[in-house]
Amino acid sequence: MPGHADNINVRDASPADAEAMAWIYNQGIEERTATFETRRRTAEDLEGWFGSACPVVVVEDATGMVAFAVAFPYSPRECYSGVAEFSVYTARESRGRGAGSLAMETLIQRAQEAGFWKLSSRVFLENETSLRLLRKLGFREVGVFEKHGKLDGAWHDVAIVERLIEANLD
């Protein structure tokens, strides 16, 4: 990973990673540019992210965890079982070094292996860094949800992004 410490490791996450993941996620909550969530999360809050068919991956370097990506069921309806929503977060001090890209590339691979045919998400329009990353990885912007949620009293629009996983489209 350019500009990053040696010993980069990308792997499937486990519940033991929840504390470090919550720490990274809480940075995103505090910055108010990546999620409508406002309450800080604990490791216990993230326990539900593990144990389903949806992948969760982490990126580590010599300093510890620097990024993660997680997929969630899009819908409980069986007809949408191959569609997952995702989130990706990178620790503040590791941004711009490729950790988010590595997390997403691995998440896409794991989603393909799990049989998903589509990944989707919603991204704040002002979060240009995330939108650039996703475009680079083959996501397309489908449209915009206007006034999708309020954050600190202000409405925010979000871009709807998706990426088909061609190998699973039969």
On the question of pLDDT at 25 being above 70, the answer is yes
Within 13 Å and on the Cβ side, how many CA atoms surround 91?
Answer: 16
Residue 4: the pLDDT is 44
What does the pLDDT look like over 28-69, one tens digit per residue? 999 999 999 999 999 999 999 998 899 999 999 999 999 999
Do 122 and 27 meet the contact criterion of CB atoms below 8 Å apart? no
The gap from C-alpha 52 to its chain's centroid, in whole angstroms, comes to 16
Q: What is the pLDDT of residues 90-115, one digit of tens each?
A: 999 999 999 999 999 999 999 999 99
Q: Which phi and psi angles does 169 have, rounded to 5°?
A: -100, 95
Please say if the pLDDT value at position 88 is more than 90: yes
Q: What is the pLDDT of residue 170?
A: 84
Residue located via tokens 């997929």: 71
Cα separation, 3 vs 10, in Å, equals 17
Q: What is the pLDDT of residue 6?
A: 57
pLDDT tens-place string over residues 120-129 = 999 999 999 9
- Residue 146 has phi, psi (to 5 degrees) of -80, 140
Whole-prediction pTM? 0.93
- Cβ-contact 160, 83 below 8 angstroms: no
CB 61 within 8 A of CB 10: no
Residue 52: the pLDDT is 87
